[in-house]
Structure 1
Amino acid sequence: MERLGTGIGWRPEIADAVERMPGIDWVEAVAENVCPGHLPDSLRRLRERGVTVVPHGVSLGLGGADRPDAGRLTALAERAEALGSPLVTEHIAFVRAGGPLTASPHLEAGHLLPVPRTRDALDVLCENVRIAQDALPVPLAVENIAALICWPGEEMTEGQFLYDLADRTGVRLLIDVANLHTNHVNRGEDPAKALAELPLEAIAYVHVAGGFERDGVWHDSHAHPVPRPVLDILTDLASRVSPPGVLLERDENFPAPGELENELTSIRRALEAGAVERVKAELRAAGATVPGGRGNELLAAAGAGRRAAAGGVGGRLLVEAGTGSVRRGDETGAAEATRGAFGRPHQQEEVDGARQRLALAQAALLSALVAGTPVPEGFDRVRVGVQARALAAKRADVVAKVAPELPVILGDGYRTAFLGYAQTQPMTSGYRRDALTFAEHLLSTGRPGDPGARRELREWWLDRSGPAPRSRRQAHRLARATRRVLSRR
Structure 2
Amino acid sequence: MKQLGTGIGWRPEIADAVERMAGTGKGTGDGVRDENGNGAGTGVGVGVDWVEVVAENVCPGHLPESLTRLRERGVTVVPHGVSLGLGGADRPAEDRLKALAERAEALGAPLVTEHIAFVRAGGPLTASDPLEAGHLLPVPRTRDALDVLCENVRVAQAALPVPLALENIAALIAWPDEEMTEGQFLYELADRTGVRLLIDVANLHTNHVNRGEDPAKALDELPVEAIAYVHVAGGFERDGVWHDSHAHPVPRPVLDVLADLASRVTPPGVLLERDENFPEPAELERELAEIRDTVRRASTVDAARGGAEGEEHCTAPRPHTASATASGTASVVVSVTDEPHGDSESSTAPARQRLGLAQASLLSALVAGTPVPEGFDRVRLSVQARALGAKRADVVAKVAPELPEILGESYRPAFLAYTHGHPMSDGYRRDALDFAEHLLLAGRPEDAEVRRRLREWWLDRSGPTPRSERPTARLARATRRVLLRR
For the superposition of Structure 1 and Structure 2, which TM-score range results when normalised by the shorter chain?
A: 0.7 to 0.9
Instruction: State how 1:405-484 maps to structure 2 within 5 Å.
Output: 405-470=402-467
| Cα separation, partners in 2 of 1:338 and 1:468, compared to 1, 3 Å | closer
Partner Cα distance (1:179, 1:91) in 2: 12
TM-score (norm 2): 0.87
Write out the 4+ residue segments of structure 1 that deviate beyond 6 Å after TM superposition.
Answer: none
Partner Cα distance (1:47, 1:346) in 2: 39
Instruction: Name the residue aligned to 1:281.
Output: 305
| Cα separation, partners in 2 of 1:409 and 1:355, compared to 1, 3 Å | same
Matched letter for residue 427 of structure 1: M
Instruction: Name the residue aligned to 2:31.
Output: none
Instruction: Name the residue aligned to 1:20.
Output: 20
Instruction: Name the residue aligned to 1:67.
Output: 91
- Give CA-to-partner distance per residue, 1:164-186, whole Å, 9 cap, x none: 00000000000000000000000
Contact 1:171/1:335, CA 8 A, preserved across alignment: no
Instruction: Name the residue aligned to 2:239.
Output: 215
Instruction: Name the residue aligned to 1:307.
Output: none
Partner Cα distance (1:284, 1:428) in 2: 58
Partner Cα distance (2:153, 2:344) in 1: 17
Instruction: Name the residue aligned to 1:483.
Output: none
1:382 correspondence with 2:379: yes
Partner Cα distance (2:419, 2:311) in 1: 63
Matched letter for residue 348 of structure 2: V
Partner Cα distance (1:139, 1:276) in 2: 30
Instruction: Name the residue aligned to 1:176.
Output: 200
* SS of equivalent to 2:88: coil
Partner Cα distance (1:407, 1:327) in 2: 48
Instruction: State how 1:342-353 maps to structure 2 within 5 Å.
Output: 344-346=341-343, 348-353=345-350
Matched letter for residue 396 of structure 1: A
Contact 2:86/2:92, CA 8 A, preserved across alignment: yes
Matched letter for residue 220 of structure 2: A
- Give CA-to-partner distance per residue, 1:207-247, whole Å, 9 cap, x none: 00000000000000000000000000000000000000000
Note the C-alpha offset of 1:471: 7.8
Task: Pick the aligned partner of 2:394 from 385, 392, 397.
Answer: 397
Partner Cα distance (2:84, 2:354) in 1: 20
* SS of equivalent to 1:336: coil
Instruction: Name the residue aligned to 2:32.
Output: none
Instruction: Name the residue aligned to 1:2.
Output: 2
* SS of equivalent to 1:411: helix
1:126 correspondence with 2:150: yes
Note the C-alpha offset of 1:337: 6.2
1:231 correspondence with 2:236: no
Matched letter for residue 209 of structure 1: A
Note the C-alpha offset of 1:283: 1.1
What are structure 1's unaligned runs of at least 5 residues? 289-315, 473-489
Matched letter for residue 259 of structure 1: E
Instruction: Name the residue aligned to 1:355.
Output: 352
Contact 1:62/1:93, CA 8 A, preserved across alignment: yes
Matched letter for residue 80 of structure 2: H
Contact 2:84/2:93, CA 8 A, preserved across alignment: yes
Note the C-alpha offset of 1:348: 3.8
Instruction: Name the residue aligned to 1:484.
Output: none
Instruction: Name the residue aligned to 1:265.
Output: 289
Note the C-alpha offset of 1:269: 1.2
Contact 1:167/1:338, CA 8 A, preserved across alignment: no
More helix by share: 1
Task: Pick the aligned partner of 2:61 from 31, 34, 37.
Answer: 37
Number of residue pairs matched by the alignment = 432
What are structure 2's unaligned runs of at least 5 residues? 26-47, 313-325, 470-486
Note the C-alpha offset of 1:466: 2.7
* SS of equivalent to 1:424: coil
Partner Cα distance (2:174, 2:305) in 1: 35
Note the C-alpha offset of 1:273: 1.7
* SS of equivalent to 2:156: helix
Partner Cα distance (2:468, 2:258) in 1: 48
Note the C-alpha offset of 1:470: 4.6
Matched letter for residue 241 of structure 1: V
Instruction: Name the residue aligned to 2:273.
Output: 249
Contact 2:342/2:348, CA 8 A, preserved across alignment: no
Note the C-alpha offset of 1:346: 4.4
Matched letter for residue 18 of structure 1: V
Contact 1:167/1:337, CA 8 A, preserved across alignment: yes
